[in-house]
Chain A
């Protein structure tokens, strides 16, 4: 009979291999959950309606490079549109008229062409006589920054670079004019 019947060493209850297997399973489950969470966050993030406007650089169809942060000191109207979007056509004339009205008053307009064919986009710009800078949203990087849900969508950024207006629908000249005046402090 063993004298140390009570104090003898006993086998561990679970082998190390089993514990490692559990760790691997939990890591895989964790990764899947992280991916799901990231997808949900992305899906449910809405457009910014206040605070600093996300910075971006637009490569225009005319070959210019315009960076939003370089326009600090001016009011900036950012309009997301596409040639295949019928509601965008409804506001096209009003946007151009607003541009002509305010371009000498410290207001800049930027047209961001969302997932569009270049030929069709240029046709659209010519058809509506749009003269303010427009460029493609390459790889949808700008629209991803602004979490747009469709087109047209318009943001107005004040002189300090803060978003002061957002609309997820076509705009009229009167609406635009009122919001631009507010941003200019008039």
Chain B
């Protein structure tokens, strides 16, 4: 039982630390794009690979679960053109992604943000896996031969403090007489 307690305490500590990391991430200021005048890229110098590199980090806001770089609809083609135009204007990756979030919402991001409610998408799976691992270890320890043997010992007698005191006193007396 002590080993299980130690393990449970460690699991709780680990979950607590994860929670603290999560809260710290949520309140930490997000990394902003560096200030400065964007350097325009001459039209035609932005390659499809550069466009797709950014497009694969975004999802089509209309189609379900299709990254923007492989989406075949006209709307997605328009959005890839927008990415190309913004790259030509010298906008940074973060600025372009923010533009898409401002227009179409956070759901366009392939990777959820590490703040606000989206933070739960990062923290919950880790906490879930940690809790699941804790349950698994406790269950395995309980199934170990030593633990099973301990469980096989006679169970403790039921409590008698709820019984009639006169009856208990009589029983105590008879037990004493029997064992003397």
Q: Does A32 contact B124, Cβ atoms closer than 8 Å?
A: yes
**Residues A115 and B104 in contact in the complex (CB < 8 Å), given A20-B12, A24-B15, A28-B128:** yes
Q: What's the count of A-B pairs with C-beta under 8 Å?
A: 93
- A28 vs B105: C-alpha distance when bound (angstroms): 27
Name the contact of A138 in the complex, choosing from B73, B102, B160 (C-beta under 8 A): B102
Q: B82 an interface residue at 8 Å Cβ cutoff? A: yes
Binding site for A on B (CB under 8 A): 1, 4-5, 8-9, 11-12, 15, 61-62, 73-75, 78-79, 81-82, 101-107, 120, 124, 127-128, 131, 134-135, 138, 156-157, 159-161, 168, 171-172, 175-176, 179
Q: Which of B9, B61, B103 is within 8 Å of A17, CB to CB?
A: B9
* Complex CA distance for A7 and B175, rounded to whole angstroms: 13
In the bound complex, what is the Cα–Cα distance between A116 and B157 (angstroms)?
74
Cα separation A117 to B179 with both chains bound (whole Å)? 94
Q: Which bucket holds chain A's interface residue count?
A: 20 to 34
Which B residue's beta carbon lies closest to that of A21?
A: B8
Indicate if the CB atoms of A140 and B73 lie closer than 8 Å.
no
A10 CA to B156 CA, complexed, in Å: 8
- Choose from A4, A6, A25, A84 the contact partner of B75 (Cβ within 8 Å): A84
Cα A71 to Cα B140 with chains together (Å): 66
Interface residues of A in 14-32 (CB under 8 A from B): 15, 17-18, 20-21, 24-25, 28, 31-32
- State whether B4 touches A3 (Cβ < 8 A): no
Residues on A close to B: CB < 8 A? 1, 3-7, 10-11, 15, 17-18, 20-21, 24-25, 28, 31-32, 35, 82-84, 115-117, 119-120, 136, 138-141
Chain B residues within an 8 Å CB radius of A10:
156-157, 159
Given contacts A10-B159, A28-B131, A138-B103, contact A115 B62 (CB under 8 A): yes
Closest to B138 in A: A21
